[in-house]
Amino acid sequence: MLSRKSAADRCLRVALPLLLLYLCGCDEIMPRRSPGEKLYRKHCSTCHGVAGNGQTVRSMGDPNADLLDDMWRHPSDPAGLASVLRQGLVFEHPTYDKLSNEEIKQIVDHLLSLRGERR
């Protein structure tokens, strides 16, 4: 018979990896993500966060990392967002010139959905 402590340890050993897989959100487990969300998570979430609020270790204290507020120094319309993704901003934002126009559009669409501007 297992003691309560060893039963709890065993349960934790099983549950923790499953929880980590769920939280990491790999596409095999969460296949319903849009192409834009997948691209956003791959290219943008390190700085801007999965939710787009800029709450990441990398961008801590950088008010420009929050994509959900209305405090933008650069155009926040779809064309402006696409331009920043394609061309980057010197010392502020990387260039994603290897992404296709369709991929850029998908990221912009996902960002607008995070902002509640698209459903």
The domain covering 33-114 belongs, at the CATH homologous superfamily level, to Cytochrome c-like domain (1.10.760.10)
CA–CA distance, 2 with 103 (Å, rounded to integer)? 53
Contact (Cβ atoms closer than 8 angstroms) between residue 111 and residue 47: no
In a structure prediction context, what are the per-residue pLDDT tens digits for the chain, which is 119 residues long? 556 667 667 766 766 666 655 555 555 565 688 999 999 999 999 999 999 999 888 888 888 889 998 888 788 889 999 999 999 887 788 999 999 999 999 999 999 999 888 75
- For 69-107, give one letter per residue: b (16+ CB within 10 A) or e: eeeeeeebebeebbebbeeeeeeeeeebeebeeebbbbb
**CA gap 79, 77 in Å, rounded:** 6
Which is nearest to 112 in space by CA: 37, 15, 8, 14?
Answer: 37
What phi-psi label fits residue 104: left (phi over 0), alpha (psi between -120 and 50 degrees) or beta?
Answer: alpha
Looking at residue 10, its pLDDT comes to 72
pTM of the predicted protein model: 0.71
